[in-house]
Structure 1
């Protein structure tokens, strides 16, 4: 049986369990599961950019644990001059969907808290008016969405859309944003080969610290 720490809460109410099947994963189990992908998270080639997707994010316990491991791996493997850029790319690699509004907000808040805490401890300015904070906030808002993974619709009833954040070859710190829908991702992964006729915004290549500006490309 998995041991719980004193402050852990696996259910919020019986009603939520009955209605939504909501049961949280114990931290010890999260650790055991992430240990299985330790190489991808912390030491393997391009570990910063390895993508993780949580289709039922809850209050973000898996997402926070993934980000925490990536941040500390960056701290060990990169010089401090690269921490701001690399931690933003790490944040850009983490995706999640959560059905319930309070859990969704908690997941977003927890990711931002751990990101800010890392940089404040490192002596990097990460207040609300900095490019670092604004871009971290924007990446979290774009990557961690409220919606229904089964239907592919967000809280407003629209199709769930994410963005890829591609590094630009031979241009360190530069990123190219490429929007996509959850349904297109599903179709490609199942080999259906269906065309995606959705019209997406097109964005200018920019430094990852400036993604919050969301500068549209001239097309």
Structure 2
């Protein structure tokens, strides 16, 4: 690999080589023309996230501060946000709290992606970050564990394929997300409230259409997959 940052054209892909790292910025010219798809370089992602560092890492309630990415791509912003939250959780919480807080951090990150391959990559990358964090700390997180299943459920619910501008999913149905409210007097417990993405365009928060969508009983956040 070459040192420094070098743009390279490979099979119609625009990539950046930086040390041993390779970033794909453009998958194909056709995708740029059809969808305006150009990925943000990692260093620019980090610079932009530095601007909201209090919300991500240092401010009160940082774990539950929500972030919405309207065009997720392969999840480069999502994973960067999640990594910062996880690093802050390591510093500010006791190890026994890391599984619970990492799930709440995951529940705070939302996105929509138009293209199917990017959507799949974004979900896979987020789950990979979650599992890697717990494996590093020797916490069981195999596909058989509630921890893994809950994370997978949250990612599926929060990272969806569709069109942010129309508020519709790939099948033409309204995009439906969920708020995951932490119940303060029962820290591991969450209350799920579903809402349509289109309702966020209302200026009045009271107009979110919780009342016309399914309701869910409170449960432990590591059991959210059981109440799906």
State the TM bucket, normalised to the shorter chain.
over 0.9
2:108 is equivalent to residue 96 of structure 1:
no
**Secondary structure in 2 aligned to 1:147?**
strand
Match in the other structure for 2:96: 81
Match of 2:215 among 190, 196, 202: 202
Of 4-13 and 21-30, more deviation after overlay is shown by: 4-13
Give the length in aligned residue pairs.
Answer: 211
**Structure 2 residue aligned with 1:175, among 185, 190, 199?**
190
TM-superposed CA distance for 1:172, in Å, is 1.2
SS at match of 1:45: coil
Q: CA separation of 1:172/1:114 partners in 2, compared to 1, >3 Å: closer, same or farther?
A: same
Residue 23 in structure 1 maps to residue 67 in structure 2 = no
Considering only aligned residues, what root-mean-square deviation do their CA atoms show, in Å?
1.6
Q: Compare relative contact order (CA 8 Å, sep 6+) and give the higher one, 1 or 2.
A: 1
Matched, 1:62 2:77: yes
Q: Structure 1 residues 175 and 193, CA, compared in 2 at 3 Å: closer, same or farther?
A: closer
What displacement does 1:169 show?
2.4
Answer yes or no: is 1:108 the counterpart of 2:117: no
| Alignment partner of 1:157 is 2:189 | no
Which residue is equivalent to 2:13? none
Uncovered stretches (5+) of structure 2, i.e. residues with no partner: 6-15
Q: TM-score, normalised by structure 1?
A: 0.92
Q: Aligned equivalents of 1:82 and 1:195: distance in 2?
A: 31
Per the alignment, do residues 82 and 27 of structure 1 end up closer, same or farther by CA in structure 2, a change over 3 Å counting? same
Richer in strand (by share): 2
Distance 1:51-1:197 versus aligned 2 partners, 3 A rule: closer
| TM-score normalized by the length of structure 2 | 0.89
Task: Report what 2:28 is aligned to.
Answer: 13
In 1, the alpha carbon distance for the partners of 2:30 and 2:105 equals 36
Q: What's the offset of the Cα at 1:196?
A: 3.8
Q: Distance in 1 between matches of 2:93 and 2:183?
A: 19
Divergent runs of 4+, >6 A? none
* In 1: Cα distance, 2:171 partner to 2:211 partner: 18
CA separation of 1:195/1:63 partners in 2, compared to 1, >3 Å: closer, same or farther?
Answer: closer
